[in-house]
Structure 1
Amino acid sequence: MEAFLISTGIVALAEMGDKTQLLSLVLAAKFRKPWPIILGILLATLLNHALAGAVGAWLTSVLGPNALRWILGLGFLAMAVWMLIPDKLDEEDANVKASRFGVFVTTLIAFFFAEMGDKTQVATVALAAQYQALVAVVAGTTLGMMLANVPAVFIGDQLAHRLPIKLIHGVAAAIFAILGILALSGVGL
């Protein structure tokens, strides 16, 4: 349960102001069909985070506990710093056109590829390696993504500009830093 709750919270915070949340806003404004967009985000996130979680689980099987502790500790500290760097939506990500398959498939493809190498995907790898609970981590990170992106789809631009993004990123950075320090010190979470 701890892996699920921490994964949910950290990804929900990390996703605020992230490029995939900005992509959610763009898709919602462009297509004005929230349900296919939400379903596309859900499926893309499940696929992407299942792959990322599998990588994290694999790392625990090939690395010794000492090496894994250092990699996770330094990785979480790096994520803390990365959280403090503002994210921008790339021009090519924002220039989304509906494919002949419709809004759902367009969202699925755009969101899946926008999430590649993103903060939340990297966090999913690290959390899966830390907790060694693949299903709980993937379920938690997916829920965190949905908690951040579903309101963006429904409420759109109006709410996004009112949120204290710097404060939210600061809290997420602090959580990542604490996880990093705990991992480096060998304290089990």
Structure 2
Amino acid sequence: MALLKAFLFVLVAEMGDKTQLLAMACASKYKLKQVIAGVFAATLLLNALAVLVGTYLGSYIRFDYIQLAAAFLFIGFGLWSLKGEDEEEVEEGEACNIKNEDKFGPIITVGTTFFLAELGDKTQLMTLTFAAQAKAPILVLIGATLGMMVADTLGILGGTLISKYLPEKYIKLGAAFIFIVFGISTLYEVLPKAYLTISNQIIFYIILALLIYLIGFRRKK
């Protein structure tokens, strides 16, 4: 019962969540098996942590600082998505046989990004709650992991399908937009209202606009 409950609730909660769209965006940049491997590793670790915390340390862990780090990671990954490759960089990569070097790079990138983005999110907190209520942590872990993987696999397949019909530059722009918007929305959720003054927001958006211009557009010119 604990397995089925965790599976259904996490599946429903994850549908349309930011991490499902994150999986979709990653699938448009990396190979399908790399994204699935990264998402699975992060999902398993996330749910294991939630079960552990829910079972033993439920009332002592705060996720505010981790969510703040995830917000800046989203924005940074969005800016990185705008970064193009120079011809010299491509030639150097081919000369150094970069395929071998990048074998695990995308998996680590996807896994780390997904882990920080989902850490402290509602689906992990839901898993934590189930683990605290039920006396079957292994079943909760299996159910929650399956629920997240089903939802995120749908996002991954959607991203792979999109990449076949859209030019790469539009995919990069779309991925960058998703990451940056989620990063900004997370900042609004995490930061105290005292920091969300008009002047601070203006300064933040000016800096963000300059970074987007310098990384994504001026560099290409």
TM-score (norm 1): 0.61
1:117 aligns with 2:115: no
CA contact (8 A) 2:51 2:141 kept: yes
What root-mean-square deviation, in Å, do the aligned CA atoms of Structure 1 and Structure 2 show?
Answer: 2.9
Q: Which of 21, 36, 49 is the aligned partner of 1:38?
A: 36
CA contact (8 A) 1:26 1:94 kept: no
Compared CA separation, residues 24 and 95, structure 1 to 2 (3 A): farther
CA contact (8 A) 2:27 2:160 kept: no
Q: Which of 124, 128, 137 is the aligned partner of 1:134?
A: 137
1:1-38 C-alpha deviation (Å, 9 max, x unpaired): x000010000010001111111101101122x111111
Instruction: List alignment gaps of at least 5 residues for structure 2.
Output: 61-72, 82-101, 163-221
Aligned positions of 1:34-113 closer than 5 A: 34-59=32-57, 90-92=74-76, 94-95=78-79, 101-113=104-116
Q: How far 1:130 sits from its partner (Å)?
A: 1.2
CA contact (8 A) 2:26 2:159 kept: no
The equivalent residue for 1:26 is: 25
CA distance in 1, matches of 2:78, 2:103: 18
The equivalent residue for 1:10 is: 9
CA distance in 2, matches of 1:121, 1:96: 27
1:92-144 C-alpha deviation (Å, 9 max, x unpaired): 454566x8842111111111111111111100100101112111001100000
Q: Which moved more, 1:101-110 or 1:14-23?
A: 101-110
TM-score (norm 2): 0.53
Compared CA separation, residues 15 and 93, structure 1 to 2 (3 A): farther
Compared CA separation, residues 6 and 143, structure 1 to 2 (3 A): same
CA distance in 2, matches of 1:10, 1:149: 14
Compared CA separation, residues 19 and 128, structure 1 to 2 (3 A): same
CA distance in 2, matches of 1:34, 1:110: 16
CA distance in 2, matches of 1:143, 1:5: 10
CA distance in 1, matches of 2:127, 2:80: 26
Helix, strand or coil for the counterpart of 1:30?
coil
CA distance in 1, matches of 2:76, 2:124: 20
CA distance in 2, matches of 1:119, 1:96: 27
1:91 maps to amino acid? I
Matched pairs, number: 131
CA contact (8 A) 1:21 1:152 kept: yes
Instruction: List alignment gaps of at least 5 residues for structure 1.
Output: 63-88, 160-189
CA contact (8 A) 1:45 1:112 kept: yes
CA distance in 2, matches of 1:3, 1:96: 40
1:57-79 C-alpha deviation (Å, 9 max, x unpaired): 1158x9xxxxxxxxxxxxxxxxx
